[in-house]
């Protein structure tokens, strides 16, 4: 199993540009989520999904959109990038039937100029 994969690994955007961060998992996990990691602030939840067709907002959803058309994929879209979105983004997945381990991807380091 590849686990949770994320692309790209690094990205530089200009203010106002749009892009999609890709996330895929091959563990048939129902639950997937996106976090951003900033120095001294831990990991903050952006959006999450408990299954295909179901998404919900987390702690810091503004400026981000998500969709979940398949169990495997959970892309994160930045419609109009801002410097405040400079961060490291992590995708994660887990089963929902009990207290299961959440698996994280390797992250995408995004810089918005």
Nearer of residues 32 and 78 to another protein, judged by Cβ: 32
Say if residues 113 and 12 touch (Cβ distance below 8 Å): yes
**Interaction of residue 42 with another protein, rule CB under 8 A:** yes
Q: Which is nearer to another protein, 65 or 104 (CB)?
A: 104
Distance of CA 112 to the CA centre of its chain: 17
Residues in the chain: 113
The verdict on 7 binding another protein (CB under 8 A) reads no
Q: How far is the CB of 45 from another protein (least distance, A)?
A: 5
* Strand duo 54-57 + 76-78: pairing: unpaired
44 binds another protein per the rule CB under 8 A: yes
Q: How far is the CB of 85 from another protein (least distance, A)?
A: 19
Name the β-bridge partners of 73: 24
The rounded distance, in Å, linking the Cα atoms of 104 and 34 is: 9
| Residue 95 sits in the site that holds another protein (CB under 8 A) | yes
41, 79, 82, 113: which one contacts another protein (CB under 8 A)? 41
For residue 95, the number of C-alpha atoms closer than 13 Å in the C-beta half-sphere is 7
Site residues, another protein (CB under 8 A): 4, 31, 33, 35, 40-45, 48, 50, 58, 90, 92, 94-102, 104-107
């Amino acid at each position: 199993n590849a686990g949770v994969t994320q692309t790209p690994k690094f990205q530089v955007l200009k203010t106002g540009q749009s892009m999609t961060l890709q996330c895929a998992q091959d563990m048939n996990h129902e639950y997937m989520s996106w976090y951003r990691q900033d120095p001294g602030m831990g990991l903050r939840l952006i959006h999450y999904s408990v299954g295909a067709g179901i998404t919900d907002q987390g702690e810091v959803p503004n400026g981000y959109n998500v969709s979940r058309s398949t169990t495997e994929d959970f892309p994160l879209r930045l419609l109009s990038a801002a410097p405040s979105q400079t961060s490291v983004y992590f995708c994660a997945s887990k089963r929902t039937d009990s207290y299961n381990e959440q698996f994280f991807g390797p992250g995408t380091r995004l810089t918005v100029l």
